[in-house]
C-alpha cells in the first residue's frame, strides 16, 4: 500500500481513508459520520490503526486496497497513516504513537516528547516556520499535503523520540505551557461543578489553553480572566467532545445560543456582543466579542455567570 492525499481521482480505485471522512472506500475515523467497523473503534484514529494491526481479519478487510488516504493533515492523521502502512513497526512504538495522537487531537499534555512531536508536525505546515517551506509554499492543497505526508512518514518512527532537534519549532509553545502549568495554582482558582459537569477557572492573568484544559476535570470549561474593564469570559467545550469517541466526554456539547442571547440582554456594557461559535466548530466557545470578533471584557459579575451556567448545564442532558 501507498499513501495518496485525497482527491476525486481516488474514486476509481479501492482505498482506505483514515482520520477524515470522505465518500466511498473503507474508513477508519473518529470524525462525526464515520463508517469505522465497531470492533476497531477507539478514541483516536491512531489507536484504531493499531487495533487494525492486531486484527486477525485485517488482510481480508483490506483485500484489494492499495491506497491509504486522508483529506487533511494533522498529527493523528499522520500517525494513523503510519500505523496502517507499517503496522508491525507501529506496534513497537504503540505508547509513543498514542500519546502523540492524543496530544495533537485532544490537546492533552501526555509527555514532553509527545508535545514536541505535535508541535513539530504542526509547524511543518506553517509557511513561515516549516523546514520544507520552500517546497510547499504556494502549492495546491493536494500537492502540499502529499509532500508533507511523504516527508514526515519517512522521518517516522525516529521523530517520535527525536523531535528535540527541532527546538526552534517547539521551544516557544512548550515554554508557554510550562510557565502556565507552574503558575496556575498561584494565579487561579479552580472550581468543579460535578452536577453540571463544568469546570470554572478564575484567573488573574492569561493562561495557556492546554494548561487550563489539563487541570480541568470536565470537558466544559468556563475561564474567567480578570482584565481592565471586567472579566474576559470563555465558555469552551473541549475539542474531545466534537469527536465520536469510545470514552464518553465528561460533559457533552449543548447549544449555547440561548445563553449568548440572555447574557447580551443583561450585559450593561456596549460596543460588542456575546457570541457562540456553534456545536459544529472544533473548539466551540461562548464569549463576548468586539465588532471585529476579538474577546471583549464583560461587566457581568463572575458569580452571576457561573451560577447561570451551572443551572443551565444541570438542566441539560450529558
The most distant pair of C-alpha atoms in the chain lies apart, rounded to whole Å, by 64
Q: Would you call 198 exposed, middle or buried from its count of C-beta atoms within 10 A (0-12, 13-18, 19+)?
A: buried
The residues spanned by each domain of the chain are 2-92+125-156, 184-314
Alpha carbons 291 and 261: distance in angstroms, whole number: 16
The set of cell numbers assigned to 61 is 478487510
- At residue 73, the pLDDT reads 98
Strand partners, 274: 288
- At residue 25, the pLDDT reads 96
Q: Are 240 and 264 in contact (CB under 8 A)?
A: no
Residues making up the chain, counted from first to last: 318
Q: Which of 148, 168, 152 has the alpha carbon at shortest distance from 160?
A: 152
Instruction: Please give the angle made by the CA atoms of 34, 250 and 311, to the nearest 5 degrees.
Output: 120
Residue 301 has pLDDT above 70, yes or no: yes
Residue 21 has pLDDT above 90, yes or no: yes
For residue range 179-230, list pLDDT tens digits in order. Answer: 999 999 999 999 999 999 999 999 999 999 999 999 999 999 999 999 998 9
Map grid coordinates 469505522 to a residue.
36
pTM of the model: 0.94
Alpha carbons 209 and 176: distance in angstroms, whole number: 10
Domain 184-314 architecture: Roll (3.10)
- At residue 153, the pLDDT reads 98
For residue range 249-260, list pLDDT tens digits in order. Answer: 999 999 999 999
Those residues with Cβ within 8 angstroms of residue 254's Cβ, 6 or more apart along the chain or in another chain: 279, 312, 313, 316, 318
Sequence-ordered strand ranges (E) for 62-209 = 67-69, 188-193, 198-203
Helix (H, G, I), strand (E, B) or coil at 194: coil
- At residue 270, the pLDDT reads 76
The set of cell numbers assigned to 215 is 487541570
Alpha carbons 71 and 19: distance in angstroms, whole number: 8
- At residue 229, the pLDDT reads 87
- At residue 174, the pLDDT reads 97
Q: Are 237 and 220 in contact (CB under 8 A)?
A: yes
Q: How many CA atoms lie within 13 A of 261 on its CB side?
A: 4
- At residue 268, the pLDDT reads 87
- At residue 317, the pLDDT reads 66
Alpha carbons 24 and 31: distance in angstroms, whole number: 15
For residue range 102-157, list pLDDT tens digits in order. Answer: 999 999 999 999 999 999 999 999 999 999 999 999 999 999 999 999 999 999 99
For residue range 278-289, list pLDDT tens digits in order. Answer: 999 998 999 999
Amino acid at each position: 500500500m501507498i499513501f495518496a492525499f485525497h482527491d476525486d481521482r481516488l474514486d476509481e480505485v479501492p482505498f482506505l481513508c483514515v482520520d477524515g471522512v470522505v465518500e466511498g472506500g473503507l474508513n477508519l475515523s473518529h470524525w462525526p459520520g464515520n463508517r469505522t467497523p465497531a470492533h476497531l473503534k477507539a478514541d483516536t484514529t491512531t489507536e484504531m490503526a493499531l487495533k487494525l494491526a492486531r486484527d486477525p481479519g485485517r488482510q481480508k478487510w483490506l483485500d484489494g486496497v492499495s491506497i491509504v488516504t486522508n483529506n487533511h493533515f494533522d498529527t493523528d492523521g499522520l500517525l494513523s497513516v503510519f500505523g496502517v502502512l507499517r503496522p508491525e513497526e507501529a506496534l513497537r512504538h504503540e505508547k509513543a504513537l498514542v500519546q502523540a495522537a492524543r496530544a495533537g487531537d485532544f490537546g492533552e499534555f501526555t509527555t514532553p516528547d509527545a508535545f514536541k512531536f505535535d508541535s513539530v508536525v504542526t509547524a511543518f505546515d506553517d509557511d513561515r516556520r516549516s523546514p520544507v517551506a520552500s517546497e510547499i509554499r504556494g502549492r495546491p492543497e493536494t500537492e502540499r499535503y502529499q509532500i508533507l505526508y511523504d516527508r514526515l512518514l519517512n522521518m517516522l518512527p525516529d521523530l517520535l523520540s527525536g523531535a528535540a532537534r527541532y527546538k526552534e519549532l517547539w521551544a516557544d509553545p512548550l515554554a508557554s505551557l510550562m510557565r502556565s502549568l507552574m503558575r496556575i495554582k498561584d494565579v487561579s482558582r479552580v472550581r468543579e461543578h460535578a452536577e453540571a459537569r463544568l469546570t470554572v477557572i478564575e484567573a488573574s492573568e492569561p493562561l495557556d489553553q492546554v494548561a487550563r484544559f489539563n487541570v480541568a476535570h470536565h470537558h466544559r470549561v468556563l475561564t474567567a480572566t480578570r482584565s481592565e474593564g471586567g472579566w474576559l469570559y470563555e465558555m469552551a467545550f473541549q475539542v474531545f467532545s466534537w469527536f465520536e469517541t469510545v470514552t464518553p466526554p465528561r460533559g457533552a456539547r449543548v447549544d449555547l445560543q440561548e445563553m449568548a442571547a440572555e447574557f447580551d440582554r443583561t450585559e450593561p456594557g456596549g460596543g460588542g456582543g456575546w457570541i457562540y461559535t456553534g456545536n459544529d466548530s472544533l473548539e466551540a466557545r461562548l464569549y463576548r466579542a468586539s465588532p471585529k470578533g476579538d474577546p471583549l471584557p464583560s461587566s457581568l459579575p463572575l458569580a452571576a455567570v457561573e451560577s447561570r451556567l451551572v443551572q443551565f448545564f444541570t438542566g441539560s442532558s450529558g
